[in-house]
Structures are given as structure tokens and as C-alpha cells.
Amino acid sequence: MAGEFLVNVGGDVYSAEEAHAWLAQTGWRVVDELPLAGPQSAIVAEAL
């Protein structure tokens, strides 16, 4: 999947753990993680 994102849109794929760490480092608190279709998920967070 990361290869497809890189080729088609110039993006990359990151783990939920990486996103949680970025949010914590920037003053956000993870509230929930919602599974979506396929391997994707949505992380819900709020500013502290």
C-alpha cells in the first residue's frame, strides 16, 4: 500500500503508533481509533 501511495500521490503510510506519538508530542490526546474499510483507520484526538 505504501508503494501505491508513493507512486500515485507522493505520500507514505504511517502506523497508528507513529501518529499517536506525533499527536502526544504536539499537545493532543487520542480519544478513539475507529476502524475503516480495509487496512485504514481514523484517529480521533482533541487538543489539550
Show the 3-state SS of the chain. CHHHHHHHHCCCCCCHHHHHHHHHHCCEEEEEEEECCCCCEEEEEEEC
Is-contact 45 22, C-beta < 8 A? no
pTM: 0.72
- Tell me whether residue 2 is in a domain: no
* Average pLDDT for 2-23: 80
- Domain of residue 34 covers 16-48
Q: In the structure, what pLDDT confidence band is assigned to residue 38 with cuts at 50, 70 and 90?
A: confident
pLDDT > 90 fraction of the chain, expressed in percent and rounded: 60
- Tell me whether residue 11 is in a domain: no
The pLDDT value given to residue 23: 97
The pLDDT value given to residue 18: 93
Cell numbers standing for residue 26 = 504536539
- Tell me whether residue 4 is in a domain: no
- Tell me whether residue 48 is in a domain: yes
- Tell me whether residue 5 is in a domain: no
Instruction: Report the domain count for the chain.
Output: 1
